Amino acid sequence: MISREVRMRSNAEQGVKIRGIVEALGREVATSAEARVMLVLNDADRTMI
């Protein structure tokens, strides 16, 4: 468990932590494509990550 006194080592580690929290709350994490559509980002259908 990460606490206030312990820094996360990477963005990936933060992503894993928040995904666990979101799923524990019974929610589903959006894919990058779904997030682009929700945020109305340009070229959402042409961006491949």
What are the tens digits of pLDDT across the range 1-49?
567 788 888 999 989 999 999 999 999 999 988 988 888 876 655 655 5
Q: Where are the domains of the chain?
A: 10-49
- pTM over cut 0.85: no
Contact between 11 and 26 under an 8 Å Cβ cutoff? The reply is no
What is the C-alpha separation between 33 and 40, in angstroms, rounded?
Answer: 11
- Residue by residue, what is the 3-state secondary structure of 1-49? CCCCCCCCCCHHHHHHHHHHHHHHCCCCCCCHHHHHHHCCCCCCCCCCC
Residue 16 is predicted with a pLDDT of 92
Residue 49 is predicted with a pLDDT of 56
Residue 27 is predicted with a pLDDT of 96
Residue 36 is predicted with a pLDDT of 83
